[in-house]
Amino acid sequence: MSALTAFEVQSYRNGDWRIETITDSKELAVHQAESIIMSPGVHKVRVVEEAFNPNSAEQKFRTVFIRHKQPPKTAAASPPQAAQPRAEEAAARAPADEAPQPAAAPPRARLSAIGLSLKFAAIVCAGIAVIIALRYFAASP
């Protein structure tokens, strides 16, 4: 059996990545990501390819598309000169051992668990639909 592949469209809102949709078409996923980036409150979008090999139970992830929302262009190209000394004063007052911490990346395990749960639910629903359809057509004269 070959690997099962799905594409997750994820958006970055309010400091957290969330899954918007899952599809089996890379082109459709990229198209959806390009339209989602236009939504208010969305700062970034990405498409993550998930490949699952049922024979080896191996799961692979790779980002195949990423887009950042462009900040709005302003008339002033540089910040006012009065703002720079304040920033320098704040940096001088801050203790040296309190360096700014980089933002933590979202846990991959949580994202993949959600994706797998959604896939499992879709497979179960499709199986139930097939069983109902088979019973319906078997009962028809």
Report the domain count for the chain.
Answer: 1
Is residue 23 packed enough to be buried (19+ CB in 10 Å), middle (13-18) or exposed (0-12)?
Answer: middle
Task: Report the C-alpha gap between 84 and 43 in whole angstroms.
Answer: 26
16 lies in some domain: yes
* CB 71, CB 78: distance < 8 Å: no
pTM: 0.50
35 lies in some domain: yes
99 lies in some domain: no
Q: Closest Cα partner for 43 from 52, 53, 28, 33?
A: 33
2 lies in some domain: yes
56 lies in some domain: yes
For residue 114, the model assigns a pLDDT of: 64
Q: Which domain holds residue 136?
A: 1-69+108-141
Residues 51-99 have pLDDT tens digits of 888 888 888 999 999 999 876 666 555 555 544 445 445 444 444 444 4
* CB 48, CB 20: distance < 8 Å: no
86 lies in some domain: no
103 lies in some domain: no
74 lies in some domain: no
Given a cut of 80, is residue 118 above it in pLDDT? no
Higher pLDDT residue, 87 or 112? 112
